[in-house]
Each structure stands twice: as C-alpha cells, then as structure tokens.
Structure 1
C-alpha cells in the first residue's frame, strides 16, 4: 500500500508529533504541523478551524458516490511522560501516552495514499479532531456549520489497544465502547468553630454516606452500569473550623446512552435524599460527557471484510469496552465503525507514563482504512 520511504516519513512525523503534544482545545501547533504535512498532498479541499482547532482534508472522486470520513485525534494528555526514548515529550507534564500521535500518522498516511490514488467515486474526508480526551471535540465539530459541508454517509476510526496481539483487529457489531459522564455533587452545610461543631452543620457524614451509596447504585439497574468515585473534598485545611461544604466526584458509565441517563437520574435522587436527611443543600454539575459508541451493521461488515482481505488476525469482541471514546457522538449522526488495533500483549497500557505508540501499526492502520475506502469508492 505504501513504500518503505513513505512509512519512514510517517514514522518520523509521528515522532515529531510525540515530542510536541498539546492539551485538548489547545492543539494549534499540532494542527499547523498536520496542515504542513498535507500541503504537498494536494487535497481538493482543506477545512481549518473545525470545532476549534480541528481540520479536514477532502479528496474528491470523478463520479458521484458516498462521503466517507476517517477520523483521528489531535490532543495529548496532562501526564508527565516517563520514557527513555529519543523522541520524548518536550512539553512539561504533557504527553501523547494514548497514541493519538500514531493515529494522526495513520490518517496522514491515508492522505498520502489518496494523493496518488484519488477515489473513483464519492468523497473521502480525513478529519483531525480536537479535544477527544475531554469528550468535547466531537460535539464541537458536529455543531460547527462547516461540518455540513462534509456530512458523511459513513465514519470510521480506530484506537490502538495494548494487551492484545500486535496488529490484531478487534471488532464488534453494535455497542463497542461505553457512554460516560463526570458528575460532581456539591453539599452545602454551615461552618462553625471546631470547638463548637454543634453550632454548624458539617456535611462530613452525608459525604461518607454518599460515597458508599453511589458505588452500590448500579445494583438496582438491570443493564450494565458502573459508578466510580474518583475524588472527594471536605471543607478546607483549617483546624479551627468545622467544614460547611463538601464535593463528591464520580464517573458514571453504561453501555447505552439511555442507561447512563437513568444512572445519572438515580444518582441525583440518591444524593438529594441524603442531603435532605442532613438538612444540607445540594447541587450538581457535569463534565466530560461521552456518548456510547455504536457500530452500524453495514459499516461493521465493511470493516470485517477489509481485515479478511488483508489476512489480519481478527478478534470478535463479545462485550463492549468499559472505556469511552467521543467518536460515539458520530454514531448518532451517521453509520459508524470504531475498531481496535492490537498494540502488543505486553505493551504499557493507555495513559501510563511509559506508553509509546508502536510504529509498526502505522502500515496496518493505513491498510485497513484504504481497504475500507476501496469497498465504498472504487
């Protein structure tokens, strides 16, 4: 599909991206590097500032046909890298330890391929999406008026997955990755002198009860759901003061959007009931909302056939993954497929400080996407 000099060029590009990661919504320089890479590839159209820092490249076929979008992510993570590699991150406490640099290299390789092999019919759209890690990027792209210009009939994406054999394709029809949301529960009591706690109303006991009750909440829901308390804070470090406020933060997950919303509703009812019991005020706010990723049967079949044609090792996933990916929002707007690409049985896990994307996967990822495109556009 691509010759060795091209693969080497993509590998070097990946390492450059790895050295200069940027956080969600701040990927200005990363976008510039991508645009510079594509400047010699002559796409038929370039869209910049898509959903913030995002950008898309369009390759137009001669005949009418479907529009197919291939998506990757621009952003890095607020994690200090701990690696002994020559292309170590140069940005303090920021790194590409999720592999988005590798995903960008794959889609850039796809651009190289389409530069020399224009689709026969329809359009190919290569989307470099911002802010995947916070769950805000897909929504920003879809809401951007410029997205109407490239509204796809199909959308495909991949994610490297440590813990599975190198180059293995992990694929599943229907639910593939969970919906999730970050929930903060604010409890409001009344401060007093710590010598006279009875004069105030500390939320300490209510906070403790809320933590225990939240993680037991899924027991009352028939379908898979999960609550993980990730942080709690009571008052401030002031030994002369009885606390008057508390915050409990938790991540709520489910395999369907509807189940996640039911879980949120139950959590609010539970927290309100406990707050009322202790005469406390309560309020809620939410961050990092991810829709469930749902693989369309037609898109799934196209992806499966591509893996078979390439003689790749295929694993049919039985249960959805518990992690979330904001590609799921595209599932509500078009026919989507998100599949996994094994990055090694013993490879460090995603978001670990010593993770580095395996460059061997670039050729495999480009091959999968190109084979999918052949089915829809040749």
Structure 2
C-alpha cells in the first residue's frame, strides 16, 4: 500500500499546519481537532476522543479476528520560542513544535491514508495520538482512562526522529533505550531577618550552596549501562529581590536521570537523604516533591523483531546506533501493557538538535517512517 504523490503533498501540508499551532502538554485541543479532521476521510471504524486529556485514538478493524496493534504519536509542543524564518513557523509566541511531534503525527496520518483504502486482513489497528508527552503525564493518563481497556494493544510501536544521526538511518535495539527521569523540587523554609542582622533569621543560603554541588555529585555519569545516574540542577531561587532582607526561603530544582526505574528509586532515596540531613543541620523546614516523571523506555525483543523485519524488507539501513540515550520518553509506560518498541529515525548529522529554537522536522522523513510502520502492520495483520 504505497503512498501516492498526492498523499505526500497532503501529508507535508498537514505537518506544516500542525507546526504553526503548537500547544503545550494538556492543552492540545486544537491539535486534536486538526488530527480528527485529517483522519475523517479515511473513515475509521471508531474514533475515541478526549482520551487521557486531549488524546485521539482512531481504530481500523480487520476483516477477521486477530491482535490489536497500536502505533503512537504525540500531540504536544514545547514552551520555547521558535526563531527560524521558515514560512510555516509557529504563530504562537513562546511555543514551538521543536521536538518533531508534528512529523510523528504526519507519519501516523500516512498510515491512516493506507488503512482508509485497505483494512488489514485480521485484527485491528489503533492510531494513538497521545497528549502530554513532554511533561511525562500523557501515557499514564491515557492508560488510566477506562476507555483504553477497550482498545488495549497486543503490540505497541512508536518512532522518534533523532538529529545527529545520518538522514534516514534507524537506530534500534532491545532493552532500555530511554532513561528514566524526574524533576525534583526542593523547598527550604527558614525565617527572614533584616539584612543588617542576619543572625536573627534562619537563612537557607549555606544549604543551597552545599546542596547544588552535592546533588550533582550523586550522579555517577559515564557510559549508559546498569548503574548510570545523573543529576542536573536546573533552577535555584533564594529569597526575594531585595537588598534589605536576609532570605528565609529557597528552592532548588534538579532533574534526576537513571538508566532504569530501579535505579531511579535508589537515586531518589539518596537525594532525599542528602537534602533532609543538610536542612536539619541548619534548622530549616523542607518539602520535596516530584514533577515530569518518566519511566525508562524498554524495547521488548518480540516487538523489536517485527521492526527489524520491516526495516530489512523496506531496505532502510539500521543498527543500534548510540542506544540507549539519556533523553526520556513516556512511551515506556505502554510497554508495561504489551510488547512495545520504539525506533529512532535519523534527521541528519548536522540537523538542529531537538528542543533547539531553530529545529524543524524534515518532511522527507514522513515517507520513511510510514513505510516502516505500514510494513510492520501488514506483516502482523495481513
């Protein structure tokens, strides 16, 4: 089921229209409507909307009973100002599709085009347009939605474009491919005082100065193998912007990163112990909370085998590349429900990096990603 020239014209236009209207995690209402409108002519047998927020799942039924195969893309953009001069640049200040989710959606839209012409022989295909990937909340919200049980997959597949790799080359491997990560927010509370008499207050300054390098030091770094950990301090605030007040409040934000979920539990425990000990020594109150929680993403061998077969049959070059990678991805949560695998599609060795303000998804990747997914679903479902 090859894509036609007109398909590619339409898919590129669709991708660029999405690029113009980026929406943040949990705010993707307009993006979801654009997806539904583009998929409507393919006549899905069922469309589930509002899934886990603004998620959209289009279901295409085969002619005979069989497994459910899910392909996932992401709806959300980033809170980053786009600086490129491309004609389809973001029209929303401070927002940009700078991770390629617009391109991933176009790849799934290509599958929809082929499914609209020919349903699978058996089973069913679920095209999952997932909300809120960038903050790590979307996959969990989709899975928690009671309607997900009705379309739960037997296999789940996804892709992510990856600048720095040769254009069109794929990285694929079994086992962990994306790290677990979470944002740790530390709030220290003491007592303000006049800046001329700081001894009458309880200041968090010394503890902040102690904790920032100490937290970073918890991360061993090094090769991405069992035991890898990293802590990156991303934000700190002490007191108010006033010369006359010795501070009584501070915050430190840090991103914790490990290869596996088990490693994350150990790293969190070490970081919490470090923070509590330092705060108590100075008589400070402390609150610790976590945001942007990503589980590690692990490729199941049986799902990887299906992608390998498709890559070989389509003549797409692949190896394990630099996998695993440090970046996080919440597709891993679907792997707890079914054999799942994600492959990484090279966007070019000199292409702007993900989350850079001048990043734009290469349109020519749409056809490559679609070919691999189409071949995968036809091999599985006929």
Q: TM-score, normalised to structure 2's length? A: 0.97
Partner residue of 1:278 out of 274, 279, 282 = 282
Q: What does 1:28-107 correspond to in 2, within 5 Å?
A: 28-107=29-108
Confirm or deny that 1:331 pairs with 2:335. yes
Q: What does 1:158-173 correspond to in 2, within 5 Å?
A: 158-173=159-174
Partner residue of 1:353 out of 344, 357, 360 = 357
The answer as to whether partners of 1:185 and 1:284 remain within 8 angstroms in 2 is: yes
CA distance in 1, matches of 2:209, 2:375: 54
Structure 2 counterpart of 1:17: 18
1:248-268 C-alpha deviation (Å, 9 max, x unpaired): 110001111010111011100
CA 1:76 to 1:43, structure 2 compared with 1: closer, same or farther past 3 Å? same
What is the number of residues matched between the two proteins?
Answer: 378
CA distance in 1, matches of 2:22, 2:211: 38
Partner residue of 1:306 out of 310, 313, 325 = 310
CA distance in 2, matches of 1:177, 1:198: 47
1:126-155 C-alpha deviation (Å, 9 max, x unpaired): 000011101111011000011011010111
CA distance in 2, matches of 1:162, 1:218: 26
CA distance in 2, matches of 1:249, 1:52: 27
CA distance in 1, matches of 2:271, 2:287: 12
CA 1:370 to 1:138, structure 2 compared with 1: closer, same or farther past 3 Å? same
Give the C-alpha shift of residue 64 in structure 1: 1.2
SS across alignment from 2:133: coil
1:199-240 C-alpha deviation (Å, 9 max, x unpaired): 111110111101111011134997001100101111111111
Partner residue of 2:321 out of 298, 317, 321 = 317
Q: What does 1:113-192 correspond to in 2, within 5 Å?
A: 113-192=114-193
CA distance in 2, matches of 1:317, 1:265: 32
Higher mean C-alpha deviation, range 295-304 or range 311-320: 311-320
Confirm or deny that 1:343 pairs with 2:347. yes
Give the C-alpha shift of residue 318 in structure 1: 5.5
CA distance in 2, matches of 1:199, 1:310: 72
Give the C-alpha shift of residue 25 in structure 1: 0.7
Structure 1 counterpart of 2:296: 292
SS across alignment from 1:40: helix
Give the C-alpha shift of residue 88 in structure 1: 1.1
1:109-129 C-alpha deviation (Å, 9 max, x unpaired): 100011112111101000000
CA distance in 2, matches of 1:220, 1:283: 27
Give the C-alpha shift of residue 319 in structure 1: 4.0
Structure 1 counterpart of 2:253: 249
Structure 1 counterpart of 2:266: 262
CA distance in 2, matches of 1:148, 1:199: 59
CA distance in 2, matches of 1:166, 1:308: 17
CA distance in 1, matches of 2:268, 2:204: 21
SS across alignment from 1:58: strand
Structure 1: gaps (5+ residues): none
- RMSD over aligned CA atoms reads 1.2
Q: TM-score, normalised to structure 1's length? A: 0.98
The answer as to whether partners of 2:171 and 2:323 remain within 8 angstroms in 1 is: no
Runs of 4+ in 1 over 2 A off after TM superposition: 218-222
CA distance in 2, matches of 1:209, 1:375: 57
The answer as to whether partners of 1:19 and 1:90 remain within 8 angstroms in 2 is: yes
Give the C-alpha shift of residue 316 in structure 1: 1.4
CA 1:319 to 1:110, structure 2 compared with 1: closer, same or farther past 3 Å? closer
Structure 2 counterpart of 1:227: 231
